Homo-oligomer: A and B are copies of this chain.
Amino acid sequence: MVNYEILAHEEVAADAKYIVLAGKIAAVPGQFLQVRISETNDPLLRRPLSVHDCHENSFSLLYRIAGRGTAMLAQKKTGDNLNILGPLGKGFPHTTLPTALLVAGGIGVAPLFYLARCLAEKGKKVVFLFGARQAEALYRRRELAEIVSELHLATDNGSTGLHGPVTELLESFWEYQVKFEIYACGPALMLQEISRLAAGHDRDVHVSLETQLACGVGACLGCVVADRTQPGKYFRVCSEGPVFNSKVVF
């Protein structure tokens, strides 16, 4: 639980903001932070936000204004402090393969951005498939383009890139000659579809899930998803995830 000063807080779209905080955190890609929104009891719970990027003396978050809590967060100003618990959870697993395919849907880009940077810095080839409803929701795609090897875009309304779901972009890659690791984050339905497609090609995907959290540290058992391999067993998204192998959760 540490207070971090807000160095910058910018709109990246009408419904999303990017926030830079002063300080060092030891986070691996895929981990998240529990952000306190208010010092009062309403909203009561912290809000989980992924580590979006990390630098020497600062780190950043990217969030969509989804409801009351994030709307209140959007009001915070440069110089204000943000009380944060974390980094929490298990991040994306390492890969020994030279190529990684990252698939983001909308705000799902949040944790994948940091993953992309880390993989690129390790010399991996990063192919990034990024889909959203419309061009505006392809958050921070310009900054992303500078990091990744390939960036393929798709929008539901065709305003940018492929006119269709991001999963269509995937198709050509199944025939790819080289082996590659797949990481995905986005709406539950998108993750489910990717997992289904991947399973068809006997591949698994590292998916980052979102559920309602309370404690964020594994103590309350509130955030669970079913373990598909063991009936009656559950995983805690906050502490055993938020990243899971698609085969065990879908």
Residue A172 interfacial (CB < 8 Å): no
Interface bracket on A: under 10
Which residues of A104-156 are within 8 A (CB) of B?
none
The listed residue with most B CB atoms (<10 A of its CB), out of A40, A41, A68, A72, is: A40
- The distance from the CB of A188 to the nearest CB of chain B, in whole angstroms, is 28
How many copies of this chain?
2
B-facing mask of A41-76, CB < 8 A → 1, else 0? Answer: 111000000000000000000000000100010000
B-facing mask of A21-41, CB < 8 A → 1, else 0? Answer: 000000000000000001011
Closest to A69 in B: B40
Closest to A68 in B: B40
Q: Provide the residues of chain B in CB contact with A38, threshold 8 Å.
A: 40, 42
Query: Which of B41, B68, B72 is close to A42, meaning CB atoms less than 8 Å apart?
Result: B41
List chain A positions with a Cβ less than 8 A from chain B: 38, 40-43, 68, 72
Q: List 9 A-B contacts (CB under 8 A).
A: A38-B40, A38-B42, A40-B40, A40-B42, A40-B43, A40-B68, A40-B72, A41-B42, A42-B42
Given A38-B40, A40-B43, A40-B68, 6 more A-B residue pairs with CB atoms under 8 Å apart are A38-B42, A40-B40, A40-B42, A40-B72, A41-B42, A42-B42
